[in-house]
Chain A
């Protein structure tokens, strides 16, 4: 089946099985490997992308459902000003270790800050609950998002 959608601001068309996972479409058909497969069952958030501005686990999204939708991945987001603010926050807080979970956390941070530019610590903790990280213990990621929201004030 032919599926058309907006990917990182550009129109794309792919031809594939309707039930193929968005994660595979991104990684295999389109060569965007920033979204990772940590579990393949919606549990870890390493594959997270934004669909119409909402955080989704791309391993749980069948390709046909993205028709006419707007998908943003780390590859599209990394050129934006907001990304730079998140990146600076993560750098200051030491939020990155092995990095496998990182693009997913960045997308989760962006989804949160779009909704709520000044989240409390509890709100950040709740917003990243669907993203697993085995390296950091989370506090340093929470702090990274906090710094991004503070120092990137006005961007969201």
Chain B
């Protein structure tokens, strides 16, 4: 039997490399119509009148009146319409759906549509949102979602403190820039709607169709096609194109394809939340942090999306890998008339970890201490509780991880000799981080109730039925390996197709680094039971997730196990700054991760390297911003993501620390590699410049600003 960590050939490899894999935009049908979305050009306005040109035969324009059910995207709050109802709240908001055979004719119709708007006062920033909580719909409060929690007795310890340190950090938007824009192809077959699409969460789409059309679930079939990247961008957002594409198919009776072009994808789809985070630390005479006060503000955009859950993760992660026994945390996500902020790999973690890691370094520097030493003194250790006072269920190996990354990179040795070298500025930075895997709080049990199904057929093959989507992360391969390993049968005998809701139960969304950990574990349990019944000709095993008895969560007080499991890691980044261009050149990247047992080394390496580079993009180069709600970056030429030239190959080491509850000891991985990258870079830049870096991305303009600022 093979070692579960040994790499195998991915089951989707041949189809993809041969160009045979059919993405949703590759589907063709003789009768197929194309659809395009007509979008708001105004930031916040009432729609006075819509004037349509004369439509050629076979062309149609639909609006919200054509949605027979509830015109609200089902996410957390019911605030966002599929198609605008008389009012728009951001540039790019869908208003009309234009359908027909020929894309050029559709574009002609689009250019002749005119809308008379009555502009309303728009909100551009978090500050404005707080000052002017105007009445428009966001979450259930119209303008904000706010949470807070405390641990210990912060006020008492704040009074006793000898020293106080405070910082304020800003992080920018990040666009997912999956290579495949949003794509759907829908058709009505025998009175059922069949949806083929690019998505992470087929059952979110089922829910959306139930709502929008009032159809029974038995008439809805959602099939995930090969998906060209997701990164959270295809968690909640696809509900909009999916439902609009289905609307087209239902209204015309023809197959309809809706594929976004890159510009509309960048302008109108969800982004990582920009943040404004303030941290105040209170220290005793021994330079130990005895209390912290943290204030987190996220820019939520025009609708609530997943802001509430992202905000929860941001505040729960706000103390990073440190044991802070007296703690006050407040957080808010605020409505602005801009594109919606929502899920993005890391889900609030990257913002929180950038802030806490830089803050810890800043305190150390102010105390004239080595940052690693200062951090080490505050590390979470076995027996400590999380920020929400949850117990950690596995050994915490931060000391070992820190030591390993220090040794591999020579961080401590090099740190002394950085700074100016001729004209060039050299720096080295370090970050240590964690990521809670699985849904927040008791969400796995209360909201998801994941269900999986495993079938054994008479010919001895076994088939996996789950709703987990293969979005490039290799889930069909890793889940297949878990099942084959447990059953002791060759991987080739385990079949795993793309999810089709007709056959696959709802095993939850493909998010939150939960698939291997939660769905993988359930499948492993199915396989254990199947093994006992292997002699039977056909066996069907269905399992539903149950909340483990050693976890507890109170959703009112935010106390308990915020996540069922954690993964850990450390990065060191070595850089130099070109004095002529102010550009940061990365010379070396060293990483160490504790992800329990790796399920497939190649897949793990791919997740890590891809996540790192996406993190470097976030920390250094990816800039997205809006002027009066209008995005300045509308293409991959202006929204620049890393290319092959930008970053060197990282050194990757895994610290094996098998988890008791994970399948074969595995923990979650997908998000971990991105969450700690930005602080390592910022710390290296700070080290090179001898100036505080308080925001990301650390662009050449920002570096120039820092260098020209005399202090």
**Which residues of A pack against B, CB within 8 Å?**
27, 31, 33-41, 43-44, 46, 73-75, 78, 86-87, 90-91, 94, 96-103, 106, 124-126, 128-129, 131-142
Contacts and interface: CB of A to CB of B under 8 A. Distances in A.
Nearest to B473: A97
A131 B644 CA distance: 8
Interface stretch (B161-169, B176-184, B239-247): B176-184
Q: Chain A CB within 10 Å — which of B23, B228, B605, B649 has the most?
A: B228
Contact of A136 (B181, B226, B606, B650): B606
A129 B613 contact: no
Interface of B: 7, 9-10, 12-23, 25-26, 28, 176-181, 226-231, 259, 261-262, 471-474, 602-603, 605-606, 609-614, 635-637, 641-645, 647, 649-650
A46 B17 contact: no
Contacts of A136: 606, 609-610, 613
A134 B614 contact: yes
Interface of B is mostly: loop
A132 B617 CA distance: 13
Nearest to B265: A39
A137 B647 contact: yes
A27 B257 CA distance: 14
B636 A44 contact: yes
Given A97-B610, A98-B229, A135-B610, A129 B22 contact: no
A35 B19 CA distance: 7
B635 A38 contact: no
Given A36-B228, A96-B17, A98-B180, A135 B472 contact: yes
A126 B644 CA distance: 8
Nearest to A32: B19
B125 to A, nearest CB: 29
Given A38-B180, A137-B647, A98 B605 contact: no
B179 A140 contact: no
Contacts of A38: 179-181, 228, 262, 636
Q: Chain A CB within 10 Å — which of B180, B231, B474, B603 has the most?
A: B180
Interface of A is mostly: loop
Contacts of B613: 136-138
Nearest to B266: A39
Given A98-B229, A125-B645, A140-B605, A132 B179 contact: yes
Contacts of A126: 644-645
Given A33-B22, A44-B179, A99-B16, A128 B644 contact: yes
A33 B19 contact: yes
A80 to B, nearest CB: 12
B226 A94 contact: no
B525 to A, nearest CB: 28
B23 A100 contact: yes
B606 A135 contact: yes
Contact of B179 (A46, A78, A106): A46
Pairs A-B, 6 closest by C-beta atoms: A34-B19, A98-B472, A99-B16, A100-B228, A137-B613, A97-B472
A138 B617 CA distance: 13
A58 B650 CA distance: 33
Contact of A39 (B19, B262, B471, B645): B262
Nearest to B614: A134
Contacts of B614: 134, 137
A104 to B, nearest CB: 9
Q: Chain B CB within 10 Å — which of A87, A134, A136 has the most?
A: A134
A131 B650 CA distance: 20
Contact of B645 (A86, A96, A129, A135): A129
B541 to A, nearest CB: 30
B19 A103 contact: yes
Contacts of A101: 179, 228
Given A43-B635, A129-B643, A132-B636, A100 B609 contact: no
Given A91-B13, A96-B16, A141-B644, 16 more contacts: A33-B19, A33-B26, A35-B19, A36-B23, A36-B180, A39-B635, A41-B262, A43-B635, A96-B10, A98-B179, A98-B229, A99-B16, A103-B17, A125-B644, A135-B179, A138-B644
B7 A94 contact: yes
B499 to A, nearest CB: 16
A85 to B, nearest CB: 12
B229 A75 contact: no
A98 B612 contact: no
A98 B227 contact: yes
A99 B227 CA distance: 8
A31 B305 CA distance: 37
B18 A74 contact: yes
Nearest to A126: B645
Nearest to A79: B18
Given A129-B645, A140-B609, A142-B644, A134 B178 contact: yes
A140 B229 CA distance: 17
